[in-house]
């Protein structure tokens, strides 16, 4: 099956130079990315890298005694695992889908061969590695310096960016797991955001009412990695058009 | 058994819409205490004033099976 670059829903693939997309295109395989699908398990050998078109995935840090926390979130803007771009096929993280979606996969072996043939192919991917590192850095800042309500606002905004819907089908239990906190802390924090009329929360459903307000509430914990993405990848793509 | 960790905070009531499966009422009370400690710790960490909050534990029928005052979990 052939895919046209202006039809792919993944922003990394869309950001490639047309000649590089043509090089990669024959190896793109369209795949379903169901919820709980494990893209990578810690320290196991990987065959593919993935370019989601929809859904949400998480890069989770897992300790040897099974403590885990979300390090970063990805969706249709990115690709995983980012380390495949240096040719590596083992990651220390757990990478899994949490909201089901669709996407493409490419064998890591092929990616290695193609990046050896075209020096421009890996430029958007290396830029994304930097953007993703920025996101992880802001997760560290949020965890160290922000209140749970602000961290929750940031997390909801990041989901909102990737789901293209104001209705987020997410339980408190799941949010608590992702934020590394207990469930009542999330329920109470959602109550605070609801009191500010930023969201509405029903059982298993969070409805974004005021996105601008959520951004203000997140008070700088959200936004810089997203701006970095647009500065480095979004704009670069427009310049080639 | 499914237990619901509702919070009473002065005039405000925050219902737990999901609940948690726990083996016994004793386990649910331990869970409530751990929850309260985390919530107190979060307020202390961020320099917020503590609030007079109470967990009202309910079962699946909606009966209140225990009350855990946040003040009492620090001892």
The yes/no answer on whether domain A5-125 falls in CATH 3.40.50.20 is: no
pLDDT of A235 reads 64
Segment A159-181 shows an average pLDDT of 92
Which has the higher per-residue pLDDT, A237 or A152? A152
For residues A111-144, one letter each, b for 16 or more C-beta atoms within 10 angstroms of the residue's C-beta and e for the rest, the string is: beebbeeeeebbbbbebbbebbebbbebbeebee
Residue among A148, A157, A179 nearest A225 (CA): A157
Instruction: Give residue A1's pLDDT band: very low, low, confident or very high (50, 70, 90).
Output: confident
Chain B residues closer than 8 Å to A171 by CB? 18
Residue among A3, A6, A37, A13 nearest A233 (CA): A13
Chain B residues closer than 8 Å to A200 by CB? none
Mean of pLDDT over chain A: 93
- Residue A197 touches partner B, C-beta closer than 8 Å: no
pLDDT of B75 reads 77
CA A186 to chain centre: 21
CA B33 to chain centre: 7
Residue among A124, A81, A128, A85 nearest A229 (CA): A128
pLDDT tens-digit map of A60-108: 999 989 888 899 999 999 999 999 988 899 999 999 999 999 999 999 9
Where exactly are the structural domains of chain A? 5-125, 141-218
Chain B residues closer than 8 Å to A185 by CB? 35, 38-39, 42
pTM for the full predicted model = 0.93
Chain B residues bordering chain A (beta-carbon distance below 8 Å): 5, 7, 12, 14, 16-18, 20, 34-35, 38-39, 42, 46, 48, 55
Residue A238 has pLDDT above 60, yes or no: no
Percent of chain A past pLDDT 90, that is, above it, reads 88
Which of these ranges, A1-10, A207-216, B18-27, B54-63, has the smallest mean pLDDT? A1-10
Residue A241 has pLDDT above 50, yes or no: no
Phi, psi of A43 (to 5 degrees): 60, 20
- Residue A112 touches partner B, C-beta closer than 8 Å: no
Residue among B43, B70, B66 nearest B56 (CA): B66
Find residue A107's DSSP bridge partners. Answer: A48
Instruction: Give residue A59's pLDDT band: very low, low, confident or very high (50, 70, 90).
Output: very high
- Residue A98 touches partner B, C-beta closer than 8 Å: no
Segment A130-136 shows an average pLDDT of 97
Phi, psi of A63 (to 5 degrees): -85, 160
The yes/no answer on whether domain A141-218 falls in CATH 1.10.10.10 is: yes
Give me the torsion for CA of A33, A38, A44, A50, rounded to 10°.
Answer: 30
Where exactly are the structural domains of chain B? 2-74
**ipTM for the complex?**
0.95
Q: Could A184 and B16 be called an inter-chain contact, meaning their C-beta atoms sit closer than 8 Å?
A: yes
Cα A139 from Cα A142, distance rounded (Å)? 5
Best mutation target among A188, A190, A207 (most B Cβ atoms within 10 Å) is A188
pLDDT of A88 reads 92
Residue among A202, A212, A236 nearest A160 (CA): A212
Considering only CB atoms, A182 lies closest to which of B17, B18, B35, namely B35
Residue A52 has pLDDT above 60, yes or no: yes
């Amino acid at each position: 099956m052939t895919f046209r670059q202006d039809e792919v829903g993944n922003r990394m693939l869309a950001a490639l130079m047309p000649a590089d997309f043509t090089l990669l295109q024959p190896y793109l395989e369209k795949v379903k990315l169901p919820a709980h699908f494990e893209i990578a398990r810690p320290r196991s050998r990987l065959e593919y890298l993935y370019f989601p078109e929809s859904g949400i995935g998480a890069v989770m840090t897992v300790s040897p005694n099974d403590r885990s926390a979300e390090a970063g979130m990805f969706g249709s803007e990115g690709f995983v695992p980012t380390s495949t771009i240096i040719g590596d096929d083992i990651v220390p993280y757990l990478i899994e889908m949490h909201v089901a979606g669709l996407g493409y996969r490419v064998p890591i072996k092929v990616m290695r061969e193609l990046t050896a043939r075209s020096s421009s192919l890996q430029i958007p991917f290396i830029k994304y590695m930097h953007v993703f590192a920025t996101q992880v850095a802001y997760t560290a800042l949020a965890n160290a310096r922000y209140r749970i309500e602000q961290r929750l606002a940031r997390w909801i905004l990041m989901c909102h960016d990737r789901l293209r819907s104001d209705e987020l089908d997410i339980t408190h239990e799941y949010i608590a797991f992702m934020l590394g906190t207990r469930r009542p802390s999330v329920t109470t924090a959602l109550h605070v955001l609801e009191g500010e009329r930023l969201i509405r929360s029903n059982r298993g459903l969070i409805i974004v009412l005021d996105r601008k307000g959520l951004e203000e509430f997140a008070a700088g914990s959200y936004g810089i990695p997203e701006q970095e993405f647009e500065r480095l990848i979004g704009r670069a793509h427009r310049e080639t058009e | 058994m499914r237990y619901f960790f509702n919070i009473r905070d002065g005039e405000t009531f925050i219902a737990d819409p999901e609940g948690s499966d726990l083996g016994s009422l004793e386990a649910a009370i331990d869970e409530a205490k751990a929850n309260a400690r985390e919530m107190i710790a979060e307020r202390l960490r961020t320099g917020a004033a503590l609030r007079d909050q109470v967990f009202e534990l309910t079962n699946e029928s909606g009966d209140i099976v225990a009350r855990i005052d946040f003040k009492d979990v620090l001892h």
